[in-house]
Structure 1
Amino acid sequence: MPFSRPTLADLVNQISSDIKSNLTDANAWLRRTVLGVLSRAFAGALHGLYGFISYVAKQVFPDTAEKAFLRRWASIWGVKPKPAQAATGNVTFTGLIGSTIPVDTVLQRSDGVEYVTLAALDLAAETGTVAIEAIAGGATGNLDAGATLALVEPIVGVQTNVTVAAGGLSKGSDAEQDESLLARLLNRIQRPPHGGNKDDYETWAKDKEAHGIDVTRAWSNPLELGLGTVVLRFMMDDTHGDGIPLPADVATVASYIDEVHPVTAEVTVVAPVAVAVAFQISGLTPGNAAVRSAIEAELRDLIRREAEPGSTLLISHVREAISIAAGETDHVLVAPNENLVADTHEIFTFGNITWS
C-alpha cells in the first residue's frame, strides 16, 4: 500500500489529540492558547519534513529524479549528458586583393549571435572563403547558405557584410534535455553490455563522447548480409534537417565501431535511405498559421518517434497526430490515405505539407 503523506490539517489534529490524551483538561484546538500555538508550530515543522522526505523519495529512483540527481545517477552508470555543439561552416569575404582577415575575427548575426573565424584569410582575389564557428553552442547557431553576417570590428579593405557559403552553418545542437538523458540511462540499466549483442551496437553508435557524432537513434540488424554480419544504421535528428547522416558521419561512427565490436563480426555501418512523406490536408479548421505550425510540429514528432528502417507508418497515427495539434478542430487528410511501409534500408522523414 503506498504511503499517504498527511496534510497540514491532519498533523494539527493529530498533535492536538496527542496533547489532549496526555494532559488532563488541556485543549490544544483553541487557536489563541499556548498549546494551540505549539500544536500548529509543530505541525508546520513536521509538514515541511514530510515534504522533504517526499522530495528525497523521488531522487532515489532515476526515472523520477530531478535534473541534478538525474545527472548524478547518469554519472554512476557512466552515461554523460551530451553538451551543446557549436555550428560550423564557411563564409565568403569580399574585399581588396591582399587584405587579411585575422583568425578569431568576430562576426555577428542580426539577432546578436556571434561567430569567429577558425583561420586567417589572405584575399588572393576579391573574394575568399574561410571556416567559422559559433561562439556559443546550440542549434540557434545554424544558418542557411546565402545569409548575411557582419564584422563586429571593421577591417581595412574588407567589406563589412559577409555571406554564408554553400552548405550553410550546420551541426549546431543544443545541450541534451533531461528526457533524452533519462532514456539513455534507462537503456543502459535495462540493457547492460553483452559482448556484442544487438543492443550493444546501438549503444556504441550513440556514444557521442567516444566518437564525437551526435547520434539520436540507431538500429542494428544481425545477419542482414549473411552469417556473422551486422548492419548498423543511425540517425542524427538534432544535427541535420532530415536526420540522415552524411558520409563523413558514417565513416566516423564506423571507425569507432571497428574498434569495439567483436573481431568475429563483419559490421557494415550505413545511413538509412530517406523516404520523405508528403502530406496533403484540406478543410483545416481553423486554417490559421498557428494551427498549421502546430500540426507540422506534431507530424515531425510522430515521424521521429515511430519511423525506423523497415517500419510501418500507420495512417491512424498520422490522423491522431493532426487531431491533437493545439487549436485544430477539423481536417481532412487527403494524402497519405493508407499505411506506409518502408523497406529494410529505408526510413520515413518529414517531407512537406500541402494545404487545400
Structure 2
Amino acid sequence: MFIVPSLEDIRQAILRDVQSLEPQADISVDSDYYARASSLAAVAEGLYAHQKWIIKQFFPDTADTAFLEKHAGLRGIRRRNATYSSGRGATIIGQPDAVIKAGLQIKTEDNRFYETTESAVISATGSVVVSVRSLATGATQNINRTTPASFMAAPVGVQTDLTLNEVIGATDAESDSSLLERLLEIIRRPPAGGNRYDYELGHCLLMAWMPLMFIPCAEA
C-alpha cells in the first residue's frame, strides 16, 4: 500500500539532511531553514498525495467513478442508464366520448410527473384506462399501488383527478459496485471459446444480474 508521509515527517527528514550536511545549522522553529523546510514539505506532501491518488486509479477496485468507467469501457462494458417507468395504469373518469390525447401531463401528490402515451375516448361507463410513462428516470418513479394524481390541464369533459397504478419498469442507474462486479467477472473469466461460463457471462453483460441455473447436456 502506498503510504503518504505527513508534512511533519517530510519536514523533519529535510531538517535532518540539512543538519547532517551542516552540523552547526540552526533548525529551530524560528530559523530560515525551518521555514524553507516547511514550504518544501508542503509541496512534497501534495505530490505524495497526488501519487497516491494516481495509484488508486490504476486498479478497477480502487478507482474513482470516472476511472472505473474508463477501465470498463476498455473492455466494452458500459454503465446501465436509469430507465423510465411505464404501464397501462391511468384510470381516468369523465363524460362518455370525451377525448384524451397523448402527451397530457399528470402530477401525483408527491410531485412525480407522468404523461399519457396514447389517445383514448371515455367509454359509455364513464371511465377509461390509458397508458402512461414517467417523465423522470429512476426506481422512485415506479407506482405499484393505487396512487391519486391529477391532470396538469384536463381535457374538456374529463375530470382533473385520476388514479395511477402498475406504472413500473423504472430502474436506477447502475451502481459502481455492480459495474465493478461485471468488470471483474470479465477480467477473471475472459471469453474462452464457448466454455460453460461464457454463456453466463454473456447473459450478465446484456441483461441485469440474476442467478442462472444451467442444465448440463447429456454427453454424446
The normalised TM-score by structure 2 is 0.91
Aligned counterparts of 2:31 and 2:155: Cα–Cα separation in 1: 79
| Counterpart residue number, 2:128 | 128
Look up the equivalent residue of 1:96 and give its one-letter code.
Q
Change beyond 3 A, Cα 1:173–1:3: closer
Look up the equivalent residue of 1:206 and give its one-letter code.
C
Identity of aligned residues (%): 30
Aligned counterparts of 1:183 and 1:32: Cα–Cα separation in 2: 54
Q: What's the RMSD between the two structures over aligned residues? A: 1.9
State the shift of 1:120 in Å.
Answer: 1.9
Paired residue secondary structure (1:184): helix
CA offsets per residue over residues 246-269 of structure 1, 9 Å max, x none? xxxxxxxxxxxxxxxxxxxxxxxx
Equivalent of residue 186 in structure 1, options 184, 187, 193: 184
| Counterpart residue number, 2:17 | 18
Equivalent of residue 171 in structure 1, options 169, 172, 196: 169
| Counterpart residue number, 1:159 | 159
Paired residue secondary structure (1:193): coil
Equivalent of residue 218 in structure 1, options 199, 206, 211: 211
State the shift of 1:219 in Å.
Answer: 1.9
Change beyond 3 A, Cα 1:122–1:227: farther
Look up the equivalent residue of 2:216 and give its one-letter code.
L
Paired residue secondary structure (1:87): strand
Look up the equivalent residue of 2:104 and give its one-letter code.
T
Judge which range, 58-67 or 120-129, deviates more. Answer: 120-129
Paired residue secondary structure (1:14): helix
Paired residue secondary structure (2:211): strand
State the shift of 1:71 in Å.
Answer: 0.6
User: 1:205·1:218 contact (CA, 8 Å) conserved in 2?
Assistant: no
Look up the equivalent residue of 1:45 and give its one-letter code.
V
| Counterpart residue number, 1:70 | 68
Equivalent of residue 56 in structure 1, options 54, 73, 78: 54
1:142 aligned to 2:142? yes
1:102 aligned to 2:101? yes
Look up the equivalent residue of 2:144 and give its one-letter code.
D
User: 1:16·1:27 contact (CA, 8 Å) conserved in 2?
Assistant: no
State the shift of 1:183 in Å.
Answer: 0.4
Look up the equivalent residue of 1:199 and give its one-letter code.
Y
Equivalent of residue 87 in structure 1, options 64, 67, 85: 85
5+ unaligned residues in a row in structure 1: which ranges? Answer: 209-213, 229-356
Whose RCO is larger (CA < 8 A, sep 6+)?
2
Change beyond 3 A, Cα 1:6–1:170: same
Paired residue secondary structure (2:96): coil
CA offsets per residue over residues 117-163 of structure 1, 9 Å max, x none? 11222224321122111111111011124222211223221111222
Say how many residue pairs are matched.
Answer: 218
Aligned counterparts of 2:105 and 2:193: Cα–Cα separation in 1: 48
Equivalent residues in 2 for 1:164-313, closer than 5 Å? 164-165=164-165, 168-208=166-206, 214-223=207-216, 226-227=218-219
Look up the equivalent residue of 2:64 and give its one-letter code.
E
State the shift of 1:169 in Å.
Answer: 1.5
User: 1:201·1:220 contact (CA, 8 Å) conserved in 2?
Assistant: no
State the shift of 1:164 in Å.
Answer: 2.4
Paired residue secondary structure (2:84): coil
